[in-house]
Amino acid sequence: MSAPERRIIVAPSEFLPLLRDCMLWKLTLTAQDMDLCASNAEAWREPLERFDRIRAVLDTTGWGERGEIDLDEHREALQEALALGLETERDLMAEGGEAAKDQRHDAYRQALEIETFMHAAGLEIPPPEGEHDA
């Protein structure tokens, strides 16, 4: 009996910088969560495990031209980081005023890239805030 085949997705080289930005932003927020735990050893467990999951994705993609990611192993970390990145881009798209026009354009493009990758990976694309399933 052979081992089940792993589901691998390849992050295109043009998407890797945005993927890394999403992972690093989630890593930053997780480090802040760890800082809030202070000396409570039990409280450290979950943010430390989350930190390690995110770091593992960064280790997998490396800093090269192509990122092969095992979805069976890294699905949760990808879901969390890309959902956060998508939320951030959507917030930037909502900024008003003429001065934010370029920002909205860039945020729209990046949100589309994140959604496209999430769809290809079979990840859940969270609805924009305020939209709910009927």
* Residue-wise pLDDT tens digits, 26-51: 999 999 988 888 777 788 888 899 99
- State if pTM tops 0.75: yes
Size of the chain in residues: 134
- Exposure letters 86-122 (e unless 16+ CB within 10 A, then b): bebbbebbeeeeeeeeeebeebeebbebbbebbeebe
Across the chain, mean pLDDT equals 88
- Residue 70: pLDDT band with limits 50, 70, 90: very high
